[in-house]
Amino acid sequence: MAYDPESVTELLWTDGAGNYATLVQVGVRSFTEDAIILDARSALNDAAKSLEASPAGSQFAVVSVSGDAITSQDSLAAFTDAMLLALPVALLLCALLAALFMRSVKYGLAAVVPILLVVGWVYGFMWWADYKINVVTATIAAIAVGVGIDYSTHFTMRFREEFENEPSRFPALRRAGEGTGGALAISALSSIIGFMMMALAPMPIFVTFGILTAVMISFSLLVALLVLPSVLLVVTRSRTGAERQHFLDLTGTAPGEYDPHARETALAGHEGST
C-alpha cells in the first residue's frame, strides 16, 4: 500500500460522474522569499502550459498552479499596493487636518513634509537590515504618518505660540525645542523602550514589528527636532521694519543689543512672556 485511504483523497478525486482531479505537489524552499517563489511559480506555469500543449492536453479541462506560497504572495502584493496607494492619501488628509486646526496651509504642509523623510528612512533601514516586505512591515509607513504628525504638530504649535511676541524666529525656535522638544523626547523614549521589549518575543513577526516601530519612533523624533525647525524657518516670514521694531519695543531691548541667536535672548523672551 503506497498511500493510506485518507491520503489518496488528497491526490486523486472523482465525483462519480466521470470527472476526475489529480494533485501534483511540488515543494518550494521558502514561504517568504519573493525571488524563490517567483522562480518556482514561473517554472510551474511553464510546466502547466507545456502539459496543456501536449498530445494529452486536450483531455484536460483545467491545468492550474496554486498553493499557499503563491496565494500568500498574491495577497501580500495586493496588500502592499493598497498600502502604497493609501500612504499619499493619508499624508494629504493629515495635511488638510493640520491646516484646518492650525488655520494655516503653510504650517499644515510644514508639519507633514518631514514625515516623508521618516518613511524614506524607515524603508532604508529595512533594506539595510534585510527586512522583507510583509503584512507587518508594510504597515510601518502608515504608522509613521500617525506618529510623525503628532510630533510635528506639537512642535509647530509651540513655535507659533512662542513667535507671537518675538522679534525674531530663532529665539522662538530655541524655546520650542527646549520646551516641547524635551517633552517629545521623553515621550518617544518611553515608547521606544516599550516596543524594544518586543524584541525579546519568541515569535519573529513580533520581534520585527517591535524593532521597526522603535526605529520609526526614533526617526520621527529626530525629524521633529532637527528637520522641522529648518522647515519652519523657511515658511515663517521674518519680521522687518516697523513690525520688527514694535516687537523689539515689547521686549524692552535696544535694536543693537538684541541678539536672536543668543541663549540669553531666548531666556529673556521667555521670562518676559511669563
Report whether pLDDT(120) > 50: yes
CATH of domain 79-273: 1.20.1640.10
Do 102 and 156 touch, CB atoms closer than 8 A?
Answer: yes
Highest mean pLDDT among 17-21, 54-58, 259-263: 17-21
Cα–Cα distance measured from residue 52 to residue 47, given in angstroms and rounded to the nearest whole number: 9
Report the residue count for the chain: 274
- Tell me which of 12-21, 109-118, 232-241 is least confident: 12-21
Place of cell 502608515: 142
The Cα–Cα gap between 151 and 271 comes to 25
CB contact set of 206 (below 8 Å; sequence gap of 6+) = 198
Q: What is the pLDDT of residue 9?
A: 60
238 phi/psi in degrees, rounded to 5: -70, 145
Q: Which residue has the higher pLDDT, 24 or 151?
A: 151
The pLDDT, as a whole number, for residue 218 is 93
Q: Mean pLDDT over all residues of the chain?
A: 79
Mean pLDDT of the 160-171 span: 81
Distance of CA 112 to the CA centre of its chain: 13
Nearest to 176 by CA among 108, 245, 232, 256: 232
Beta bridge partners of 13: 21
Q: pTM above the 0.75 mark?
A: no
Q: Closest Cα to residue 149, out of 97, 78, 202, 105?
A: 97
For the ranges 54-68, 125-139, 235-249, 253-267, which has the lowest average pLDDT? 253-267
181 has a pLDDT exceeding 80: yes
Q: Is 243 helix (H, G, I), strand (E, B) or coil?
A: helix
pLDDT of residue 189: 92
- Note whether 266 and 174 are within 8 A (CB): yes
Q: Give the residue extent of every domain in the chain.
A: 5-59, 79-273
Q: How far apart are the first and last CA of the chain?
A: 91
Determine which of 9-23, 122-136, 246-260 has the lowest per-residue pLDDT on average: 246-260
pLDDT at 191 over 70: yes
% of the chain residues with pLDDT over 70: 80
